[in-house]
Amino acid sequence: MKTFLLHGMGGAPSDWQAVQKHFPAEALALPPAPTFGFLVETLADFLAEQREPYGLVGYSLGGRVAIALTDALLESGKAPCRLALLGAGLGFSSEEERAERREKDQAWAAALRENPSAFWKRWYDQPLFAGFRRLPAETQEAWIDSRLQMSPDALARQWEGWGPSRHPDLRPALTRIVQFGIPTLYLAGELDTKYKLLSEELRQDGILSQVILGAGHLLPLEAPEAVGLALRDFFVKE
């Protein structure tokens, strides 16, 4: 089955290279789009053109996009046959939470435009990325350098338009996907407390959940072999 990979915020298709050594799949670049909704619509048009059954994998932001995409395509018969989510959040249930996060994302966007190098250091110094900071220094430097090669303004627009405050709570969409009968896998790093807890909650909703031992949030970089094998088991062996 052909499978598409969606990267996270500020990322690129090359983020999946290490995973692709263990699970051959096509990594897509998230196209420029002013809003989360327009991003989903653009990718939905692409996926609707697929003539053969396909699978969809999304990491973090890419996971949120994958949920919205799958939900949007359910009734058309063009939805993916299988869906895998890696450390993906579901957004917020209240407008108050969305407003608070929107303010934070706007501040991140401003910081990125002002000083990209300082921005990426601060971004990966967050507790969420503690696993990243355990990696060898040269691995961290190469990863951050790949971000510094991209346009700061284009990346800042991702924080402004694609953050979790820019779409409704995705839990109802995920529920519809499961009820529709699309097998769904959720992977979370053992050290990624927030999303590990979410994976345990989702297991109660009929979603296959798996914890990647020794890894944090940045799964494609921290545990590419374990992620690749888990995806292969889910998409190929089932």
Do both 220 and 209 map to the same domain? Answer: yes
* Mean pLDDT along residues 81-97: 96
Any residues with CB less than 8 A from the CB of 225 and at least 6 apart, and which?
18, 21, 22
Q: Percentage of the chain with pLDDT > 70?
A: 99
Do both 147 and 193 map to the same domain? Answer: no
Radius of gyration of the chain (CA): 17
CATH number (domain holding residue 7): 3.40.50.1820
3-state secondary structure of 63: helix
pLDDT of residue 25: 98
End position of a domain, from candidates 114, 130, 162: 162
Is residue 238 over pLDDT 90?
no
Sequential DSSP letters for 144-213 = HHHHHTS-HHHHHHHHHHHSGGGS--SHHHHHHHHHHT--EEEEEETT-HHHHHHHHHHHTTT-EEEEET
Report the C-alpha gap between 62 and 16 in whole angstroms: 12
18: enclosing H helix or E strand: helix 17-20
Report the C-alpha gap between 172 and 179 in whole angstroms: 10
Over residues 93-115, the pLDDT tens digits come to 999 999 999 999 999 999 999 99
Residue-averaged pLDDT of the chain:
96
Do both 48 and 119 map to the same domain? Answer: no
pLDDT of residue 91: 96
Do both 191 and 82 map to the same domain? Answer: yes
Do both 147 and 201 map to the same domain? Answer: no
Which domain covers residue 107, as residue numbers?
A: 95-162
3-state secondary structure of 94: coil
End position of a domain, from candidates 139, 162, 185: 162
* Mean pLDDT along residues 210-226: 97
Over residues 124-166, the pLDDT tens digits come to 999 999 999 999 999 999 999 999 999 999 999 999 999 999 9
Q: Which amino acid is at 65?
A: V
